[in-house]
Amino acid sequence: MKPLEDNRNRLVDLNDKQLNQITCIQQVTMKHEHQLQIQQTDMSFQHDFISQFISPICQSVLDVIPMLVKRNTINDKTLLYPSLTALCEKLSTELPVWTNRFVHNENTKAKLINEFNIKNQRNPVSCSNVAQLNPG
């Protein structure tokens, strides 16, 4: 009977250790999900702030500075830039590149989300804490 009792005790210990590991994994997963939610909130705000506030201001500045230089209201040459007009032209030229990069980034994110969701639909994980990604 002693070997059976020893085996049972080892199985109980193993079961306890596995339960502790599962609990730790769930805690790490919950912490990770919480951190992701915070980052998503920050990113959403930053995206909205840039697109709704900063971008319009920058576009206005890029439009107004060359007119002010032309009218001699401000000097074209400053301590920071040899030519404000050239800087505005450069930034205006680069704007479509950044716009295209943003569109490409959004498309890549959508593709990654879809691939993740499709993969998880084919091979579902039986954990209650795992959720599908939602775009946005």
Q: Tell me the pLDDT tens digit for each residue of 81-116.
A: 899 999 999 999 998 898 899 899 999 999 999 998
User: Which three-class secondary structure state does DSSP give residue 87?
Assistant: helix
Is 57 a domain residue?
A: no
Cα dist from 49 to 6, 55, 67, 83, 105, whole Å: 64, 9, 27, 29, 18
pLDDT of residue 116: 87
pLDDT of residue 129: 44
Is 7 a domain residue?
A: yes
**In this prediction, what percent of the chain has a pLDDT beyond 70?**
90
Mean pLDDT value of segment 8-33: 95
Residues 82 and 120 in one domain: yes
Average pLDDT over the chain reads: 88
Which residue segment(s) compose the domain that 2 sits in? 1-52
Could you give the count of Cα atoms lying within 13 Å of 50 in the half-sphere of its Cβ?
9
Is 62 a domain residue?
A: no
Is 35 a domain residue?
A: yes
Is 58 a domain residue?
A: no
pLDDT of residue 124: 66
pLDDT of residue 126: 56
Query: How many structural domains does the chain have?
Result: 2
C-alpha Rg value of the chain to the nearest Å: 28
What is the pLDDT confidence band of residue 136, given thresholds at 50, 70 and 90? very low
